[in-house]
Amino acid sequence: MSGKISLLLWRQLAAAGPQATRSFSSLAVRTLSGGVLHNATGVPGCAFNGGGGEPVRVPGLWTRVVPARAGSTVPGVVGEEAEVTVSAGSNGKDEKAVASYWGVPPEKITKDDGTEWKWHCFRPWETYRADLSIDLEKHHAPTTFLDKVAFWTVKAMRLPTDIFFQRRYGCRAMMLETVAAVPGMVGGMLLHCKSLRRFEQSGGWIKALLEEAENERMHLMTFMEVAQPKWYERALVITVQGVFFNAYFLMYLISPKLAHRVVGYLEEEAIHSYTEFLKELDNGNIKNVPAPAIALDYWRLPKGSTLRDVVMVVRADEAHHRDVNHFASDIHYQGRELRETPAPLDYH
C-alpha cells in the first residue's frame, strides 16, 4: 500500500516538472500499518512534517496539513499550500495532503499500552503524579511593608471575584487560572531578557517560571472541559488578563520581591478556593463528574478518577507554586539574585 501511495505522490510531483521532483525528493509518508517511513520514491528512512497544522489521516498514511513556506522552489506553490492528491482506495474518493519541502519529521508517540498519544499540547515525558502530601496550611505572615502591600493587594483582588462568581467554583477556577498563568510567563520573559543583556546564566529560574506558567495553563485547559464559560465571562477574562499582565509586568520591573510575594499570596488564595470547591463537591452541591481525559493523562490519574481527584491535584500544584514564589521573594529580600540559588525545577 505504501509503495502505491509513494508512486502516486511521485507522479503528481513529476507532472510539475523536474524542479518539483528535486524539491520534493525528501517528501515522506508514514504508514499506519507498520510505522515504516518512506520517501517519495518508496525508500525507507525519510519523514516529513510542515511544522504545524492538524494531523490528517489518509488510508495507509500519517501526515499533517501545513502551509508551504513563501519562497518555495516548487513551481506554482509560492506562498500557497502545496497539495498532493492521494488515492483513497476502496471508497473511490481522493484525499488531499499538504507536503512540506523542509522535511521536518513528525512525531508519532504512543502510550505504554501501545495506543496513540493524542495530545499535542504536552508530551508523555511532561506528565507527572502530583504530590498530595504537601502542607496546605503554610502561610507567610506579612511583616515588612512590601509584604503587607502584597497581602492586601491580593485580598482586594479576591473581593470582586467573590461577588461575581459567588459559589460557581468551576467558572471561578477558570478565571483564577487565566490570571495565575500570567506571572510565570512574565517573570520568565523578563529574566530571559536580563540574561541576554548581562551575558549571564539564570540559575534555571527562567525554565522554572515558564514551567509554572505552563502548569497553570494546563489547569485552565482541564477546567475548560468542566465549565463552559458564557460570553460575558470570556469578555471578563480578556479584560482581567489585559490589566493584570501589564500591571504585573511593571511590578516585576520595579520590585521582583514584591511581584513574587504577590504570587505567593495569590496561590494561598487559590488553595483556599480549591478547598471550598472540594467542600461543595463533598456536599453534593456540585456534581462529581468523571475527570476529563486530558487530566487523566497529564497527572497520570487512574481510570475512573473524578472531578474531585482533579481538584485535589490542582490544589497540590498551587501549593507548590506558593512555595516557589515565596522562596523567590525571600531570595530577593536577602539581597541576592535568583540566579545565585538553583531553581526548583520540576517542582510540581
Q: List Cβ neighbours of 46 (8 Å cut-off, separation of 6 or more).
A: 26, 27, 28, 37, 38, 39, 103
3-state SS class at 81: coil
CA atoms within 13 A on the CB side of 108: 20
The pLDDT of residue 153 is above 70: yes
* C-beta atoms surrounding 156 within 10 Å: 9
Quote the mean pLDDT of the chain: 76
Helices in the chain by DSSP H: which ranges?
2-15, 18-23, 145-165, 169-198, 205-223, 231-254, 256-282, 293-298, 307-333
Instruction: Assess contact for 64 and 106: CB atoms under 8 A.
Output: yes
Residue 75 has pLDDT above 80, yes or no: no
Question: Has residue 191 got a pLDDT over 50?
Answer: yes
Greater confidence, 273 or 2?
273
pLDDT for res 284: 87
Q: In angstroms, what CA-CA distances link 210 with 101, 115, 203?
A: 32, 30, 13
Beta bridge partners of 98: 83
Q: By percentage, how much of the chain surpasses pLDDT 70? A: 69
- Residue 28 vs residue 331, higher pLDDT: 331
Over the Cα atoms of the chain, what is R_g?
25
Q: pTM for the full model?
A: 0.70
The pLDDT of residue 28 is above 50: no
116 pLDDT band, cuts 50/70/90, is: confident
- Which one, of 41, 153, 27, lies nearest residue 101 by Cα? 27
Task: Domain 145-340: give its CATH superfamily.
Answer: Alternative oxidase (1.20.1260.140)
- At residue 121 the predicted structure's pLDDT band, cuts being 50, 70 and 90, is confident
Whether 51 shows a pLDDT value over 80: the answer reads no
Helix (H, G, I), strand (E, B) or coil at 37: strand
Nearest one of 282, 260, 272, 262 to 341, comparing CA atoms: 260
Contacts of 111 (CB under 8 A, 6+ apart): 117, 124
Per-residue pLDDT at 169: 67
Q: What is the pLDDT of residue 238?
A: 86
Q: Cα(307)–Cα(311) distance, rounded to whole angstroms? A: 6
Q: CB of 259 within 8 A of CB of 252?
A: yes
In single-letter form, the type of residue at position 315 comes to: R
Cα–Cα dist 39/7, whole Å: 10
Nearest CA among 298, 271, 259 for reference residue 173: 271
| pLDDT attached to residue 347 | 82
318 and 266 Cβ atoms separated by less than 8 Å:
no
Overall size of the chain counted in residues: 348
Q: Which is higher by pLDDT, 59 or 16? A: 16
Model confidence at 110, in pLDDT bands (50, 70, 90)? Answer: confident
Q: Do 169 and 276 form a contact (C-beta atoms < 8 A)? A: yes
Structure-model confidence comparison of residues 70 and 218, the more confident one: 218
Give percent above pLDDT 90 in the chain.
46
The mean pLDDT of 192-214, rounded to a whole number, is 95
Cβ(117)–Cβ(109) below 8 Å: yes
CB atoms near residue 338 (< 10 Å): 23
Select the more confidently predicted residue: 234 or 187. Answer: 187
- When comparing pLDDT for 116 and 6, which is higher? 116
Span of 100-104, 200-204, 322-326 with lowest mean pLDDT: 100-104
